[in-house]
Structure 1
Amino acid sequence: MRRFARLLDRLLVTPSRNGKLALLADYFRTAPDPDRGYGLAALAGTLTLKSVKPALIRELVAERMDPILFQWSYDYVGDLAETVSLVWEPQGELYDVHLGETVEAMNALGRTEVRGFVRATLDRLDTSARFAFIKLVTGGLRIGISGRLARQALADAFARPVDEIEGVWHGVSPPYRDLFAWLEGRSPTLEFASPAVFRSPMLATPVGEGDLEKLDPADFAAEWKWDGIRIQLVRAGATCRLYSRSGDDISAAFPEVIADDTFEGVIDGELLVGGTSRGNAATRTFSDLQQRLNRKTVNRRLIDEYPAFIRAYDLLDEAGEDRRTLPFAQRRMRLEEAVHRLPHDRFDLSPLVPFSSWEELDRLRSVPPEPVIEGVMIKRRDSVYQAGRAKGPWFKWKRDPYNVDAVLLYAQRGHGKRSGYYSDFTFGLWRDGEAGQELVPVGKAYFGFTDAELEVLDRFVRENTIERFGPVRSVRAEAGFGFVVELAFEGIARSARHRSGVALRFPRIARLRPDKLPADADRLEVLEAMLPVSAE
């Protein structure tokens, strides 16, 4: 556990991607089995572990120290695992325990045995290992490591192409003994648990200034960029899986999409929500799709109310034949034939956008025909399908973001390296209330600012907190005093779940506006005027 804890400690204070990759690669090369396999699973989000509720951790701490003193400590530190690891007074001698043994022991516990096991484990571990253990068992391991980054580190550690790792990832399972044996050359082959494996996606680079000037529009095809989530549908024999762009298996949340058995191969596309369960003629907003995401199971009502379908972009495999080396134009023709044979209520084809000049395409992407379109994708007709984000074959040209000036209303501490800062913010706009002008929350943002700007925001929250609601702080926000930021977002939709009646897509802080008073911030009517006609 100490080795895994040291890894977490160093990852938390290492900001650079390359630095994190080096730390992970060293751990995967040097840690023993099965510890490194369980560590990989924890970092990549594939670990199945009997979870412990934070309330149990708090109850155990209350056995050792005054609850009020602990609450003050927790309020100051801002992170449960860090607070408990610091204040816990162990009883007995400290010694190390293996990560693999801990995970396997946890999963073998009966319901009544968990409390005693957690207490005893905390008593054996030092401060750093206690932090790692609590993060692990409470499911709070948020340290800026994605599954994709963990797989890239595996590729770096054993000098393998990341595509090769991606190609086998969903055919193996924790603690990955067979995977490491194969990577180290101790085993020539891998036995797959599932033949329906994920392929690394091809990504597009944003259009920058001057990128298109020297390119011939005739060499490129354009498609609309839809506001859903990028997916891969993979069917091999009787097995069908639906994967997100990062390679997460989301099949359980969309059983109707994977139900068809007339196609075998791999389709790259966008997962969207249609208008009714009888067809997908009206493409709905991302907020509708969110009703289906991150669910382990769905009921008939959800499927009928938010029917999902795939808008196909590309064909990567056809009946076991890899099509990625074919030019895009040829893959497109094969894709059209494949989609034509599929059920039209669950599959359709992403339409091409005719254009003859970059100026014409610029006009089209600025005023798309549907509100759920974010812009256009531009693809070389002769491009092969290659993993990663190579500049040149594919571009994405998004609509200009929306912007409003909003007022800071609430703040909450962040996680990981931000646990000591107020970095999750809620902002509001003005509207007419029963008692006059009032600020109503319109969105949350926790990125878009620099470290220096975070210091400014954090200081304002600490100096101007007026109320506390658990971990949330309400800050002073009046017409003549408060903090204004320029809030940027990609889209907007009606939402009955929000007090303001609207939901923002990808809100972020574009810049701080210390030059403005809250009285100068925008009104809710400004947002409502941005709503697409179909949302009215």
Structure 2
Amino acid sequence: MRDFAHLLERLAFTPQRSGKLQILVDYFARAPDPARGYALAALTGDLDLRKVTPSLLRALVAERVDAELFRLSYEFVGDLAETIALIWPGQQDGDLPLPDVVAELRETAKADLPGVIAARLDALGPSSRYAYLKLATGGLRVGVSGRLARLALAEFGDIEVTEVEEIWHGLTPPFEPLFAWATGGPKPESAALAPFRPVMLSTATDLDALRALDPDDFAAEWKWDGIRVQAVSDGGVQRLYSRTGEDISTAFPDVLEALPDAAALDGELLIRRGDAVAPFGDLQKRLGRKQVSAKMRASHPAALRAYDLLVADGEDLRGAPFTTRRAALEALVARHAHPRLDLSPLLAFDSWEALADLRADPPDQVIEGVMLKRKSSPYQAGRIKGPWFKWKRDPMLIDAVLLYAQRGHGKRSGYYSDFTFGVWDGEALVPVGKAYFGFTDAELKDLDRFVRSHTTDRFGPVRAVEPIKVVEVAFEGLNRSTRHKSGVAMRFPRISRIRDDKPASEADTLASLRALLPK
């Protein structure tokens, strides 16, 4: 457990991606099986443990620590697991192998978990306590994505990460066949039908950059405001993956039913009622669900808008040019003819200026911009500059007033970095969103100083601030919401500018924000 705790500490305090990669490669080289496999599974989110809830941990610490002391400590630290690890009484520094911890958390009955966890916290030192709690709750927060962890494994074994990702869903922790392959053994055969194939990604562009390219070399289509998915049907097994390879099949059985056999399609997951595409907020109501009721399927019917074909009739088409894949996709969709599967149409344009006019006035407000794909390009995994581009619409902007602030996590735990902002509704400010990025490190420090010097009230880890600081908020879309008092929910809000030149009285109104809602 100490070695795993040391790994998490180093990852959390190493900001550079290359540094994190090297730390993981070194760990895989020195850690034995099955410990390194369980560590990899924890980092990729594939370690299926009995989740320990925050309420359980709060109840445990309440039995050992003064409530006011814990409240003040948690407000300062900003992370529940870290606070408990530091404040838990006792100075033991015991150790327990990581595989034994995993087995214990998996097998312990729910009623026995509090006693088991308390005993482990008594026996471990602060660093190991922190790692133990992060493992138990599943919230590592060390700046390592699942793909980055798999990339580190690939570097450790000098193998292609795309090969790792194509067999990943057929393997289970602690991944001993995978590590055997990385150390010179045979490549594991994928045990999963309908495997995930790493997706091809685009790079951002603008009109000035496009002018250096020949428009005749590219096909264009709308960029829909859903989520990128890969839909695979293989031997009677259907799976739906997010673009990072997460299996989201259980939330969308209506899409699985629409898939042609022996095919892998790339496309956009949408909520579609007839020909109308619903706002992203409707799709969010189905994301992350283990099961979907018949009522939800009827009120929020999902569909796949296909725009590329990776496999057809069992044949891998990824090496073929886009025009060949597109022709095969059009034929497949026409032949299959399912109401939950349609084709993303290509746009007719003869110049970049003509495409700019289309982009500026799309036929539907849920369209985010246009996608450009070089006609000769094969389907290549990863973000390769040149073949595919995304040309997004300019973001929506409002001026809002800071209302509340909360401490961040990880390297931001010492700063107030999560900001709730509001706009005017008559004489009152109404919260309309929350942002925790978009600003520079220097701006973060300025905002943190503002919060500390203008606090008017405290609610646990949250501070209310004097409503005088105006910020420009950029966001990608706006949806109606019954969960928020304002009646609206922003998509991807971020603080794009601090408006110290503007008084709070001149911030935007709720009426002007609602005017941006899709008709």
TM-score by length of 2: 0.97
Alpha-carbon distance between aligned partners in 2 of 1:413 and 1:16, rounded to the nearest angstrom:
22
Are the equivalent residues in 2 in contact too, given 1:268–1:312 (CA < 8 A)?
yes
Corresponding residue number in structure 2 for 1:442: 432
Are the equivalent residues in 2 in contact too, given 1:406–1:427 (CA < 8 A)?
yes
Corresponding residue number in structure 2 for 1:461: 451
Are the equivalent residues in 2 in contact too, given 1:143–1:417 (CA < 8 A)?
no
CA shift, 1:343, in A, is 4.5
Worse overlay, 396-405 or 70-79: 70-79
Alpha-carbon distance between aligned partners in 2 of 1:445 and 1:87, rounded to the nearest angstrom:
30
Alpha-carbon distance between aligned partners in 2 of 1:369 and 1:401, rounded to the nearest angstrom:
17
Alpha-carbon distance between aligned partners in 1 of 2:160 and 2:139, rounded to the nearest angstrom:
30
Match for residue 246 of structure 2 among 216, 224, 248: 248
SS in 2 for 1:142: coil
Corresponding residue number in structure 2 for 1:258: 256
Worse overlay, 346-355 or 50-59: 50-59
Corresponding residue number in structure 2 for 1:80: 80
How does 1:128-527 map onto structure 2 within 5 Å? 128-186=127-185, 188-208=186-206, 210-260=208-258, 262-275=260-273, 279=274, 281-432=275-426, 437-477=427-467, 482-527=468-513
Alpha-carbon distance between aligned partners in 1 of 2:425 and 2:60, rounded to the nearest angstrom:
46
Alpha-carbon distance between aligned partners in 2 of 1:219 and 1:63, rounded to the nearest angstrom:
68
Are the equivalent residues in 2 in contact too, given 1:234–1:267 (CA < 8 A)?
yes
Corresponding residue number in structure 2 for 1:62: 62
SS in 2 for 1:257: helix
Alpha-carbon distance between aligned partners in 2 of 1:313 and 1:56, rounded to the nearest angstrom:
46
Which whole-Å deviations, capped at 9, do the CAs of 1:190-241 have from their partners, x for residues lacking one?
Answer: 1433122111111111014642122111111100000000000011102111
Corresponding residue number in structure 2 for 1:3: 3
How does 1:101-140 map onto structure 2 within 5 Å? 101-140=100-139
After superposition, the Cα gap between the structure-2 partners of 1:136 and 1:88, relative to the gap in structure 1 and judged at 3 Å, is same
CA shift, 1:171, in A, is 1.1
Corresponding residue number in structure 2 for 1:20: 20
CA shift, 1:440, in A, is 1.0
SS in 2 for 1:457: helix
SS in 2 for 1:423: strand
CA shift, 1:189, in A, is 3.2
Which whole-Å deviations, capped at 9, do the CAs of 1:137-171 have from their partners, x for residues lacking one?
Answer: 12222222211111111112211111111111111
Percent identity reads 58
Alpha-carbon distance between aligned partners in 2 of 1:495 and 1:400, rounded to the nearest angstrom:
23
Corresponding residue number in structure 2 for 1:48: 48
SS in 2 for 1:485: strand
Q: Which structure 2 segments of 5+ residues have no match?
A: none
| Matched letter for residue 441 of structure 2 | D
Alpha-carbon distance between aligned partners in 2 of 1:33 and 1:113, rounded to the nearest angstrom:
28
Worse overlay, 252-261 or 197-206: 252-261
Alpha-carbon distance between aligned partners in 2 of 1:294 and 1:247, rounded to the nearest angstrom:
14
Alpha-carbon distance between aligned partners in 2 of 1:378 and 1:528, rounded to the nearest angstrom:
31
SS in 1 for 2:165: helix
SS in 2 for 1:90: coil
CA shift, 1:112, in A, is 2.7
| Matched letter for residue 482 of structure 2 | A
Alpha-carbon distance between aligned partners in 2 of 1:112 and 1:202, rounded to the nearest angstrom:
46
Structure 1 residue ranges, 4+ long, deviating more than 4 angstroms after superposition: none
SS in 2 for 1:492: strand
After superposition, the Cα gap between the structure-2 partners of 1:209 and 1:126, relative to the gap in structure 1 and judged at 3 Å, is farther
| Matched letter for residue 18 of structure 1 | S
SS in 1 for 2:28: helix
| Matched letter for residue 271 of structure 1 | L
SS in 1 for 2:142: coil
| Matched letter for residue 487 of structure 1 | V
Alpha-carbon distance between aligned partners in 2 of 1:490 and 1:308, rounded to the nearest angstrom:
21
Which whole-Å deviations, capped at 9, do the CAs of 1:245-303 have from their partners, x for residues lacking one?
Answer: 1110000110111124642210000000012xxx4x10011111000001111111111
SS in 1 for 2:201: coil
TM-score by length of 1: 0.94
SS in 2 for 1:211: helix
Are the equivalent residues in 2 in contact too, given 1:263–1:338 (CA < 8 A)?
no
Alpha-carbon distance between aligned partners in 1 of 2:127 and 2:289, rounded to the nearest angstrom:
33
Are the equivalent residues in 1 in contact too, given 2:230–2:241 (CA < 8 A)?
yes
Alpha-carbon distance between aligned partners in 2 of 1:415 and 1:193, rounded to the nearest angstrom:
38
Which whole-Å deviations, capped at 9, do the CAs of 1:70-107 have from their partners, x for residues lacking one?
Answer: 2221122121111111112237x532111111011111
SS in 2 for 1:474: strand
SS in 1 for 2:255: coil
Are the equivalent residues in 2 in contact too, given 1:49–1:106 (CA < 8 A)?
yes
- Measured on the aligned residues, the alpha-carbon RMSD in Å equals 1.5
Alpha-carbon distance between aligned partners in 1 of 2:269 and 2:375, rounded to the nearest angstrom:
24
Worse overlay, 450-459 or 59-68: 59-68
SS in 2 for 1:20: helix
